[in-house]
Chains A and B, each alone.
Chain A
Amino acid sequence: MKKLYFREEWCVGCGRCEVACAIEHSESKHPVISYFFEKVRQTPRIIVERKGNISFANTCRHCEEPDCVNACISGALYKDLSGKILYDPAKCVGCYSCIMACPYGAIMKDLNRKERKQIVKCDLCNKREGGPACVEACPNRAIVFEERGE
């Protein structure tokens, strides 16, 4: 299965992957409209960490044996046939067990959704043509989307 891989030597820490992620998961997919005019401002599913001159992005590993799915009490998190770990917000009750269990810290509270407790997580831009938006947005090819291992 194709997954995201991160090359910290190539990362300039610009955060464009985070922005692209938030926009891709918005309704309008427009940077200005999604930020100012949509009901819910999107939380990026990818995180750029920075310290001194080191920076790198990281997100969900779509584990073969996902702790988040094991922890989910509602069936909102599930592994699809291709191996992606996906999220059905309609089923989620906001217990945050997945955040508690994920050893990558890759699941975030949906901070801007006020009416209901929800989470966000990387879906590898599931239906997007051309693959994940973060890869496309990276000016330095510090994020790659490819098949590794068996």
Chain B
Amino acid sequence: MSYVIIGNGPAAIAACEGIRKYDKDREIIIISKEDQYAYGRPLITYQIAGIVKKEDMYLRRPEFYKENNIKVLLGKEAISIDSKSKTVKISDGSSIGYHKLLIASGGTPFVPPTYKEYLTKENVMTFIKWADMEKLESIIDTIENVLIIGGGLIGIKAAEALVMRGKNVYIAELSKRVLPTVIDDYGSYYFHKELEKNNVGLFLEDTVDSFKIKKNRVEKAVLKSGNTINIDAVIIAIGVKPEISFIDKEIKTNVGIIVDDMMKTSVSDIYAAGDVTECYDIVYGSKRLGPIWVSASEQGRIAGYNMAGANITYRGRLLMNSISFMKTNLTSYGIINPELEYTNVEVFEYKRDDLDIYRRINVVNNRVVGAVFINSIYRKGIITRFMIEGLPFDKYKELLLSPNIGFINFEKEYRVKEINSITGYKKARIV
């Protein structure tokens, strides 16, 4: 029997590589809902913007699958899992037995019931997958005004792509700021400014009340605030939720699938990885959702190792996001607004509005729990060490708030060991 993987994103690819480190032989079967080999989903906005070509969107070379003895079932959907007979039922009617199963089915766009019926219109779409990209591409030369519902990561990147294509873009966001989950109030000001500069119409604390339809197309949106806008296309980018509609009821879930530190689910021989899971978060110190690319890769790799018989533990996810809108760049880590979680929060800031630079470090009990950097990305990955290793903040305060973060301010012993590391950093794993 084979290793079976449901899903075909970064977690699935990393799992294949993880499995092959310990098991060179046993066949791997990937069940892919989409009719495409693994590609970078976030790249669809860059493709629309003209920054990347379709053929460059794939995550691995075509030979990858053959070299690693991986069979990919394209355009096939997992319908159900039977953990007693260890089989997965597939949309074409067949069943596949598994030796070990990985659920890496990722997320599915959240579309409120009131909007669902409009998705059949030719100018209304969600925006996370290849088919969405092709739907937008098919009408892009005929549209001028686009409304994006949701000012999160997907909404902002979609807006950027459309601005770069010369479109007139509106964003309706329920929160009082864009990117509510990855930026603080003050930081969002830079994005609001940049959006305005690029003539994006921003409707905050607002959403669509109703649409007006003409000839199978949405042509007007009436917002809750009372504004009416003429539109040629609508992108629904409210958020994603774990895709768990097909899973065995035996598998313990909350919103996502609960996994332990070896990426095992509550059912034996079934693992889960990526956006579909609720796994341990290093900073929060508890299990929770955290749909980010880097963690999906880490979780997939750890799951792969363990599926192939290794015994490797995941240290946990560290939330981090990097997003740009035109010239404004955000890098943020961990807990952005810790005052919602803790009472003894200290916030350290460096602001240079004249240069559009902003740095914010969130500290609780002398530990860095989160950070926001606007247009200040130089060597900022070094800060992940503080959140992962729990280095004391007071000792390195100057370093963390300075633009030129580096190793020279660390203790000699630490820096000599780290910059000469033989294996490199092992953030993801505990052996």
Interfacial residues, chain A to chain B (CB-CB below 8 A): 3, 5-6, 8, 47, 49-51, 54, 56, 58, 61-67, 69-71, 73-75, 90-91, 93-97, 99-105, 107-109, 116-117, 148-149
Contacts and interface: CB of A to CB of B under 8 A. Distances in A.
Given A67-B384, A100-B331, 11 more contacts: A58-B406, A61-B425, A64-B426, A67-B381, A70-B297, A73-B293, A75-B59, A99-B377, A101-B320, A103-B388, A149-B422
A65 B424 CA distance: 7
Contacts of B350: none
Nearest to A58: B419
A58 B381 contact: no
Interface string B323-337: 110000101010000
Contact of B297 (A71, A91, A117): A71
B310 interface: no
12 contacts: A58-B407, A63-B423, A63-B426, A64-B424, A65-B428, A73-B10, A73-B293, A74-B57, A74-B59, A101-B384, A103-B385, A105-B379
B35 interface: no
Contacts of A99: 322, 331, 377, 379-381
A6 B419 contact: yes
B420 A73 contact: no
A96 B409 CA distance: 24
B114 to A, nearest CB: 32
Contacts of A100: 320-322, 331, 333, 377, 380-381
Interface of B: 10, 14, 40, 42-43, 46, 51-52, 56-60, 293-294, 297-298, 301, 320-324, 329, 331, 333, 377-382, 384-385, 388, 405-409, 415-416, 418-429
B294 A70 contact: yes
Contacts of B406: 47, 49, 58, 105
A22 B430 CA distance: 37
Nearest to A78: B60
A83 B298 CA distance: 18
B322 A95 contact: yes
The B interface, classified by DSSP as helix, strand, loop or mixed, is: mixed
10 pairs of A and B residues whose beta carbons are closest in the complex? A63-B424, A105-B379, A70-B297, A102-B381, A149-B422, A71-B294, A61-B424, A58-B419, A100-B322, A49-B408
A121 to B, nearest CB: 12
A68 to B, nearest CB: 8
B359 to A, nearest CB: 14
Contact of B427 (A67, A93, A96): A67
Nearest to A54: B408
A109 B423 CA distance: 24
A100 B373 CA distance: 10
A97 B294 contact: yes
B419 A96 contact: no
Contacts of A107: 381
A96 B294 contact: no
A90 B56 contact: yes
B43, B60, B381 interface centre (most CB from chain A within 10 Å): B381
Contacts of A93: 43, 46, 51-52
Given A73-B42, A93-B51, A104-B381, A63 B425 contact: yes
Contacts of A5: 420
Nearest to A144: B420
Contacts of B426: 63-65
Given A93-B52, A96-B377, A70 B298 contact: yes
Nearest to A66: B424
A89 to B, nearest CB: 11
A5 B418 CA distance: 10
A104 B382 contact: yes
A65 B310 CA distance: 16
A99 B333 CA distance: 13
A30 B397 CA distance: 41
Greatest chain B CB density within 10 A among A58, A64, A69, A73 is at: A73
A148 B377 contact: no
Contact of A97 (B293, B388, B407, B429): B293
A65 B1 CA distance: 29
B294 A101 contact: yes
A49 B297 CA distance: 32
Contacts of B59: 74-75
A88 to B, nearest CB: 9
A64 B58 CA distance: 23
B422 A3 contact: yes
A116 B424 contact: no
Contacts of A103: 381-382, 384-385, 388, 425, 427
B424 A96 contact: no
A8 B406 CA distance: 14
Contacts of B10: 70, 73
A96 B422 contact: no
Nearest to B320: A100
